């Protein structure tokens, strides 16, 4: 649980965080946060979009760990990309979480929608052209307010980052993207590392459709280490220097996810070969205009 990743501004990010997406059943999430922190979790990954930050805020008020020992991440929604809305978006998040500051604020997606549009379900006509750099500069301005220690991005592909980095006053500290053994993001991870951007992998266990935990090779490695497939998937990402944010509401699995198995270099190499390019989360499945987000070969990013 002491594993940390050093960000490009010197801040330390605990390498294992608690995911909170779809942990919405009332009461269960607050209990999960308290249990997780009791077990040693210090990094909590939140987002405005998940609609559950008030419950997380209440739970954080009741835990016995000093604020400075926690690493709280949140993300603002695509309907707050207009530069004049970004500071207010952070204030909304801080209010919901009842916090004075965030450790890390992320731009949740590299595209904008209209302020009145619903980020959970929007139409193509809601998408608007706010240049990513305009939103990013507004985020850069937040750092000196003390309301956020580090700023970063989420769901950014290499093409966008390549265009963005030379224009940044502050290079993103983190890029949070989907990563698991069936979607390994090898090129992107290499690029981020080379440019000092830490990577956090979301959905590190895959999911129902992308069933990494049922993979025969992962199961075989798990047996060899007297561990579980989940531990193999998480240990594989951590060994690559990637932070992970598995979600669980179950105490046994929360505890299990904090403990790695030590994979051999052969096992790392073999897991490298089970790549399937199977993505769980893709905005293009609802709006094909957004195909450029993850299929950069097919369409150029229109707004940078």
Q: How far is CA 216 from CA 203, 253, 269, in A?
A: 19, 20, 16
Please, which of residues 243-262 interact with ligand A2P by CB under 6 A?
246-250, 253, 256-257
CB nearer to ligand A2P: give 256 or 287: 256
Helix (H) or strand (E) holding 5: strand 4-6
Direct distance between the N- and C-terminal alpha carbons of the chain, in angstroms, rounded to an integer: 38
CB nearer to ligand A2P: give 169 or 208: 208
Question: Does the active-site annotation cover 41?
Answer: no
CB nearer to ligand A2P: give 34 or 253: 253
Residue 86 main-chain phi, psi, to 5 deg: -70, -45
Dig out the tokens for 91 from the structure: 């204030």
Closest CA to 80 of 7, 152, 139, 28: 139
Among 203, 210, 244, 271, binds ligand A2P (CB under 6 A): 203
Residue 185: which residues within 8 A CB-CB, separation 6 or more? 177, 178, 179, 199, 201
Dig out the tokens for 2 from the structure: 């002491």
Closest CA to 13 of 80, 73, 89, 92: 73
String of contacts with ligand A2P for each residue 211-240, x by CB under 6 A: --x--------------x-x----------
Check binding of 43 to ligand A2P (CB under 6 A): no
8 A C-beta contact, residue 231 and residue 257: yes
CB of 130 to ligand A2P, least distance (A): 28
CB of 52 to ligand A2P, least distance (A): 13
8 A C-beta contact, residue 237 and residue 244: yes
Check binding of 205 to ligand A2P (CB under 6 A): yes
Check binding of 293 to ligand A2P (CB under 6 A): no
Strand 174-178 and strand 198-202: the pairing is: parallel
Binding-residue total with ligand A2P (CB under 6 A): 17
Please, which of residues 14-33 interact with ligand A2P by CB under 6 A?
19, 21-22
CB of 185 to ligand A2P, least distance (A): 16
CB of 254 to ligand A2P, least distance (A): 7
Dig out the tokens for 196 from the structure: 């000092």
8 A C-beta contact, residue 109 and residue 292: no
User: So which residues are the catalytic ones?
Assistant: 50
Give contact residues for ligand A2P (rule: CB under 6 A): 19, 21-22, 203, 205, 207, 213, 228, 230, 246-250, 253, 256-257
């Amino acid at each position: 649980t002491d594993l940390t990743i050093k960000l490009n501004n010197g801040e330390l990010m605990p390498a294992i965080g608690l995911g909170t997406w779809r942990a919405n059943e009332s009461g269960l999430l607050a209990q999960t946060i308290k249990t997780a922190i009791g077990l040693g979790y210090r990094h909590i990954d939140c987002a405005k979009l998940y609609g559950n930050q008030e419950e997380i805020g209440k739970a954080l008020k009741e835990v016995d760990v000093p604020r400075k020992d926690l690493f709280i991440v949140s993300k603002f929604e695509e309907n707050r990309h207009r530069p004049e809305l970004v500071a207010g978006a952070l204030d909304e998040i801080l209010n919901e979480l009842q916090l004075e500051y965030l450790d890390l604020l992320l731009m949740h997606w590299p595209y904008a929608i209209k302020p009145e549009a619903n980020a959970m379900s929007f139409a193509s006509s809601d998408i608007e052209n706010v240049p990513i750099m305009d939103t990013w500069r507004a985020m850069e301005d937040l750092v000196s307010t003390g309301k956020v220690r580090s700023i970063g991005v989420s769901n950014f592909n290499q093409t966008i980052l390549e265009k963005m980095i030379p224009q940044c006053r502050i290079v993103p500290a983190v890029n949070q993207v989907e990563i698991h053994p069936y979607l390994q993001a090898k090129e992107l991870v290499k690029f981020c590392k080379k440019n000092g951007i830490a990577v956090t992998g979301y959905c590190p266990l895959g999911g129902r459709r992308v069933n990494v935990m049922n993979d025969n090779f992962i199961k075989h490695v798990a047996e060899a280490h007297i561990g579980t497939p989940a531990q193999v998937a998480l240990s594989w990402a951590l060994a690559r220097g990637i932070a992970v944010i598995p979600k669980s509401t179950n105490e046994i699995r929360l505890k299990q996810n904090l403990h790695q198995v030590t994979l051999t270099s052969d096992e790392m190499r073999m897991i490298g070969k089970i790549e399937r390019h199977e993505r769980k989360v893709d905005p293009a499945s609802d709006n094909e205009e957004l195909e450029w987000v993850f299929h950069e070969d097919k369409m150029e990013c229109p707004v940078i």
